Structure formats: structure tokens, C-alpha cells
Chain A
Amino acid sequence: MAKARITYHGVGKRYGRLWALRSVDLEFNAGEVVMLIGPNASGKTTLIKCLLGLVRPTEGHIAVNGQVIGTDPAYRTDIGYMPQISQFPATLTIGQLLEMMADIRKLGSDEREDSLVEELGLTAQLDKRLSTLSGGTKQKVSAVLALRTRPDILVMDEPTAGLDPVSARRVLDRAVGLRDAGGTVLITSHLMEEVEAMADRVAYLEDGVLKFLLPVQEILESTGSSRLSQALPRLLEADTCTMSYDS
């Protein structure tokens, strides 16, 4: 049986009168990639933010490696996060930003995975100010920040948005590499091709409710489809989508 690295116990989040997340119970395991999908405003980002400690659940709790997360930020040592939109201090250079984050995490040079800097073509740009970078280059910086700590848990929010295809592939390959090394990778995406290619399981959220969390293969087989883009609508239409959340 797979080992649960992250556990959501009845997690709900309310903003004013609107429930963005309702009674979510689920587990993410070590050594898997889970794609979080769903329509806009379905609760994907809130689900992630609750784990990252950016948002406090209104109800329920989350455990990482068996420890319920609270106000102690220490558990975030194991987490790498690549946000959808990357905004950095305008006048710092890429090099200064990387140094700052290494400083904050107390990372020695031997503890950093800096090969991605080279791989994404950032080496020659380390002295460039962050305000002068294109959106795509900012995403590359963001990917480096998320991956260079070799985290046990990697959270990526629309990671390929704005990236060129080659860089996108390299970043996703790194994520898969982390999974293969026993990491837990959570990715939100609207691109079904990406999901299908790398996900072990797919979590579908709608109106803050987790509709299902199933292995990709099971989704395809149960709907008789060859592609996720065809399978998901069928699955959602069918009553069977009140399914178990087990892997």
C-alpha cells in the first residue's frame, strides 16, 4: 500500500458566504504525480494554498508526513512551490533572488540543484534585473526556485503557462524525476495532454467539491476512452463518478 504523504481531513474553506472548498478528504502518496483539474474557480488553488499554509482552512485539517500542519513553518522545508504568476522584487537580479531563497532555506551549495539554471538557459542572465524579464523567463526562475531544493513535495500551479515547449518539457521532466525519487508532485493544469502524459492520478474538483481522485488508467478504462479529454466528460456525466477516493 502506498504511503500517504499528505492527508486532507474534512478540509473546507469559506470566503465570506462562499465555500471555495467543501469537506475534502483525500490522500496524496509518496512517489506519485497527481494532476488537479477542474473548471475555473473550482477550488484547485485553494486546495493547494491550504497545504502551503497561505490559506487557513475554515474546517478540517491537513497532515504532512503524519504531522498536522499548524503555525510552525518547519514542514515547508520539504515543499517546493511554483506559482502560476511570478512577481519578484523589481530591482533584484536573478542571482540575488536565488541567493536570497538559498539564504532563507539555509541551503549549502551542495544541497542545491542548480543544473536547472543552466538547462533553462538562465546562466547568462543571472545579473539581469527581475523587472526586465519576460513572463516566460520569470516562470523559468520560478521553476528553478521550486525545484532546486529537491523537495519531497512539489506543488506547481499551471507550470507550463508562458514557457516555451522545450523549457516546459524540461521542467515537467524534472517533476517526473522527483516523483521517481519518491517525491509527491501536485500539478494544476488545464492541458489534458500534459495530464495524460505524466499523471499517476487525477483529482477533479468542481464548486469546491472533490468529485473524484482516480488513477489515469482507471479513468480511461472505465469510460472506454483512449484520451483523458474524452474520458473526463463521460466520467462526469455518469453516476459512477460518486466514486471512491482510493487509488
Chain B
Amino acid sequence: MLKVFKYTLIDLARNRFVLGYALLMFLVAQGLFVMEGDPTKALLSLVQVVMALVPLVALIFTVVYMYDTLEFTQLLAVQPMGRKSILGGQLLALAVALLIAQGLGLGLPLMVHSPDLSSLILSVSGSALVLVFAALGALIALKQREKARGVGVALVIWFVFVLLYDALLMWGMFTFSDYPIEPWVVPFAGLNPVDLARIMVMLQVDLAAMMGYSGAIYKNFFSSTGGMLVAGTIMLLWIAVPVLLALRVFQRKDL
């Protein structure tokens, strides 16, 4: 697995998309901090960008990379090496490449302009989103035979997690506001990794009040140690389950 990881990472280190992603994140983060005088406001804007952009980039890049390297994956699969090692090495390299790109593009401006716990939480949440959506991207690429269809599914997933899910949750909260729905709000928000990441950062920046009714509910739950543990566990599951499913699918897949 480490050999596949090593050479895939060498390949990805010179990949234009990865370099472009690092540059884009850097320009956006640096631009927001420079243009916005208040680092907290800049951070708030950056949160919105990260929550939308990171899942999209991780999903699409992973899906496209997996399709583009399919013939080479076949060549690897006829070597005396298990399939788990092949996919494990490739996924690890993809994740590391994207994390390094994000670390340089997002982490550096955060360290320079806002070196505090909120920035750390944003970096960690962003990294978790990279891992979650890279894992989902791999699963999509393995389940769909055609590249166009795979990219389409990835876009739908991004749309659901980043836009539709929140809209439905808001609609539900307003529609059933006369009922005691508080116990349901937290689990439903927590099921979406993007919401989960956003909530964690917002609470850290202490902007839960801006999130209104739901913010109070989130604060009650997630600011506790137990709540943090639950949030971390859900995030880990969002990474582990797609990875395990992808390994399982790849193990049985006709290449």
C-alpha cells in the first residue's frame, strides 16, 4: 500500500488541479483577510467558502482522478498485490495531496491573520470535509461505470449536502415550530457532515447567536464534552463508512 501511496503522491504533487486548488484557496483566504478589516468577519466569510468549496473540490477531483487512472489501476491490479493495498494507497495519496494543498492554501493565511482556536477548528473541520468527500467520491467512481454519470452523481451529492439538506431542515423547523422538535434538530443537523463542520466552527467563533433558534439548540448540545465526542464520532463515521464500502466494492469489482 505504501508503494502505491508513494508514487501516486509523486504524481499528484505535480497535478495542476491540486496546485490550482492550493492557489485558489490561498487567494480566497488571503483576499478575504486583506479586504475585510475585522479577522472575525473574514473568518466568517471564509467558513461559508470552505463549507461550499471543499466538498465540491474533494468530490469532483476524486471522481475524475479515479476515472482517469482506471487503466493504470487495472495494471496495478494484475501485479502481485491485493486490491485493498491498491485502493488504500490511492485514497491515502489523494487525501494527503488535497490536505497539503488545503493546508498551504487555507492554513497559511489563517496562521498569519487569525492564529487562534477558531482558525484551528476551521482547518480541522475543512480537513475532515476533504476526507469525507474524497471517500464519497471514491465510492461514487467505483459504483458508476461512466465518468459523466459519476460526475453527475457527485454534483447531486454536493447539492444535497451543501444546499438542499439545509433548506429542508429549515423548512421542517419552521413548519413544525409549534411542536417540540428540538430533540430532532441536533441529530438531523449532525447527520450532514457539512452542517456538522459549520456548527463546530460557528460555536467556536461564538456566533451561535447569529444562527438563531437552532444556534441555541446546537450550543446546548455541541458545547458539552459529550456533544463534541458525538460530533467527532459522526465525522469519523462519515469518513470510515464510505472508505470501507469503497474497499468492499473495489474488492469485488470487475475491472
Residues of chain A having any CB pair with chain B under 8 Å = 15, 49, 52-56, 71, 73-77, 79, 81, 83, 85-92, 96-97, 100-101, 103-105, 145
Is A81 in contact with B80, judged by CB distance below 8 angstroms?
Answer: no
CB distance from B76 to the nearest CB of A (A): 8
Contact of B254 among A56, A76, A91, A145 (CB under 8 A): A56
Expressed in whole angstroms, the minimum distance between the Cβ of B253 and any Cβ of chain A is 9
Partner of A55, one of B8, B69, B81, B255: B255
The winner among B68, B81, B254 for most chain A CB atoms within 10 A is: B254
Size band of the interface chain B makes with A:
20 to 34
Residues of A contacting B10 with CB < 8 Å?
A: 91-92, 96
Q: Which 8 A-B pairs have the closest CB atoms?
A: A87-B71, A89-B11, A91-B14, A77-B80, A100-B7, A54-B255, A76-B80, A55-B254
> Closest CB-CB distance, A143 to chain B, in whole Å?
13
A85 and B11 within 8 A (CB): no
**Complexed CA–CA distance, A75 and B81 (Å):** 10
Residue of A nearest to B77 (CB): A54
Q: Is the CB of A83 within 8 A of B74?
A: yes
B3 with A104: CB separation less than 8 A: yes
B window 55-84: CB within 8 A of A: 68-72, 74-83
Interface centre among B13, B15, B78 (most CB of A within 10 A): B78
- Whether the pair A88, B72 counts as a contact (CB closer than 8 A) is yes
Cα distance A53–B74 in the bound complex, in angstroms = 10
Contact A89 B69 (CB under 8 A): yes
- Number of interchain pairs (Cβ within 8 Å): 78
Contact flag A54-B78 (CB < 8 Å), given A49-B255, A87-B69, A103-B3? yes
Residue ranges of B at the interface with A (Cβ–Cβ < 8 Å): 3-4, 7-8, 10-11, 13-15, 68-72, 74-83, 252, 254-255
Contacts of A89 in B (CB 8 A): 7-8, 11, 69, 72
Q: How far is the CA of A86 from the CA of B65 in the complex (A)?
A: 16
- B252, A76: Cβ atoms closer than 8 Å: no
Q: Is the CB of B80 within 8 A of A73?
A: yes
Q: How far is the CA of A81 from the CA of B15 in the complex (A)?
A: 27
Note all chain A residues with C-beta closer than 8 A to B8.
Answer: 89
28 chain-A/chain-B pairs, Cβ below 8 angstroms: A49-B254, A54-B77, A54-B255, A56-B252, A71-B82, A73-B80, A73-B81, A73-B82, A73-B83, A75-B80, A81-B78, A83-B71, A85-B71, A87-B68, A87-B72, A88-B75, A89-B8, A89-B11, A90-B15, A91-B10, A92-B11, A96-B10, A100-B7, A103-B3, A104-B3, A104-B76, A104-B81, A105-B79
Query: With A87-B69, A87-B72 known to touch, is A53 a contact of B11 (CB < 8 Å)?
Result: no
A-chain residues with CB within 8 Å of residue B82 when the two chains form the complex: 71, 73
Q: B71: which A residues are within 8 A, CB to CB?
A: 83, 85-87
Q: Once the chains bind, are B11 and A90 in contact (CB under 8 Å)?
A: yes
